[in-house]
Amino acid sequence: MAGSKYAYVRNFELPDPLLPRTFMVLRLDGHSFHRFSDEHDFTKPNDIRALKLMDHAAKDLMEQYPDVVLAFGESDEFSFLIRKSASLYNRRQSKIVSTLTSLFTSSYVFRWATYFPDRPLKYPPSFDGRLVLYPGAQEIRDYFSWRQTDTHINNLYNTTFWALVQQGGETTTQAHTTLKGTVSKEKNEILFSRFHINYNTLDAQFRKGSILVREEISEEPVPDTSTTADTSTENDTTTSPASSLPKMRGRTKPRTKVVVLHCDIIKDKFWDARPEILS
Ligand code: ATP
Ligand code: ATP
Ligand code: MG
Ligand code: MG
Ligand code: MG
Ligand code: MG
């Protein structure tokens, strides 16, 4: 197509392809959620409504993008694993990061009132997004272990901190001082002896975060759709999310749904039960 005399500026847009056959991890994080959670009266240390809203936005994203095979969420962040064979948007980095981050954000706003019916949004929240490539399964295992360990460390600290403030009558400054330099064992001890809280009996969502995976729901024959005419005029069709679903001919395609778990993702058990995630 002939362009105008101005069209040369397009040449300044550089391609940003991601290395083929590598795992992609997209991590989103709420922008200034310290303030956002204050302004919207989140319960401290863990507002369950806010966590469920994050889970729902992540579920919406996984339902639109079949290439996302695993997600992990805690606090105001979510990580998404995109399978290494994905050809999503021809593996253009900024297209993937911006589109998925935008979908997550709009879903968060779209569903806000379901989780906070009596707390209208005071201003539009936003999320940052970054994408990192990992060469192998070990790095992916370690990545998710890193995030779940972070969940544990933060939750133990925050639970103890807010017990000192809310039940112990300490100011936030005093609570910081009380906890300075303490190790896990000492925080558990403070929780148990002073507040009769057994850390291990707290809600698993707070201790383990949220893990989203696809689970099979049934085995039904799927009609052969490979001869259906493609009426789309889009030239990007081959790499659009919906068309990256595997095409099955005369086979049964397992139907799946996205489920939210609050289990251990560090030990082998989770991964041994789901070898397809790292395939
Ligand atoms: P940045 O823009 O750099 O990410 P931030 O203020 O969002 O800054 P984070 O390190 O991401 O800082 O921390 C998010 C903060 O949001 C937490 O420290 C906590 O105060 C608050 N927060 C997020 N989710 C919840 C929740 N479910 N319940 C209570 N507080 C929450
Ligand atoms: P991509 O995801 O690649 O951007 P796209 O479908 O968004 O695909 P664009 O080239 O961005 O394609 O074009 C946006 C299309 O959206 C327009 O071609 C037009 O059909 C429609 N559109 C956008 N804004 C308006 C509007 N204000 N009124 C009518 N149609 C609109
Ligand atoms: Mg931060
Ligand atoms: Mg944040
Ligand atoms: Mg954060
Ligand atoms: Mg467009």
CA of 42 to the centre of ligand 5 (A): 14
Residue with CA nearest ligand 1 atom 17: 34
Least confident of 71-75, 122-126, 223-227, 251-255: 223-227
Q: Is the pLDDT of residue 90 over 80?
A: yes
| 196 assigned ligand-binding residue | no
Nearest ligand to residue 54 Cα: 1
Q: What is the pLDDT of residue 218?
A: 78
Q: Is the pLDDT of residue 223 over 90?
A: no
Q: What is the pLDDT of residue 251?
A: 61
Nearest ligand to residue 27 Cα: 5
CA of 62 to the centre of ligand 5 (A): 20
DSSP letters for 1-66: ----TTGGGGGGS---BPPTT-EEEEEEEETTHHHHHHHTT--SS--HHHHHHHHHHHHHHHHH-T
Atom of ligand 1 nearest to the CA of 45: 29
Q: The complex's ipTM?
A: 0.95
Q: Is the pLDDT of residue 242 over 90?
A: no
Task: Give dist(CA 214, CA 192) in Å, integer.
Answer: 37
Task: Read off the pLDDT of each residue in 109-132 and give the average, rounded to a whole number.
Answer: 98
The crossing angle, in degrees rounded to 10, of helices 184-195 and 137-166 is 40
Residue with CA nearest ligand 1 atom 18: 34
CATH number of 16-148+204-210: 3.30.70.3000
| 37 assigned ligand-binding residue | no
Nearest ligand to residue 90 Cα: 2
Task: Read off the pLDDT of each residue in 66-89 and give the average, rounded to a whole number.
Answer: 98
The crossing angle, in degrees rounded to 10, of helices 93-110 and 48-64 is 130
Residues with CB under 5 A from ligand 4 (ion): 29-30, 33, 76
Write down the residue that tokens 């789309």 correspond to.
232
| 75 assigned ligand-binding residue | yes
pLDDT tens digits along 48-70: 999 999 999 999 999 999 999 99
Task: Read off the pLDDT of each residue in 195-211 and give the average, rounded to a whole number.
Answer: 97
Q: What is the pLDDT of residue 254?
A: 79
Ligand 1 site residues, Cβ closer than 6 angstroms? 29-34, 37, 42, 44, 46-47, 50-51, 75-76
Task: Give dist(CA 237, CA 240) in Å, integer.
Answer: 5
Q: Compute the chain's Rg from CA coordinates.
A: 22
Domain ranges of the chain: 16-148+204-210
pLDDT tens digits along 134-182: 999 999 999 999 999 999 999 999 999 999 999 999 999 999 999 999 9
CA of 94 to the centre of ligand 5 (A): 21
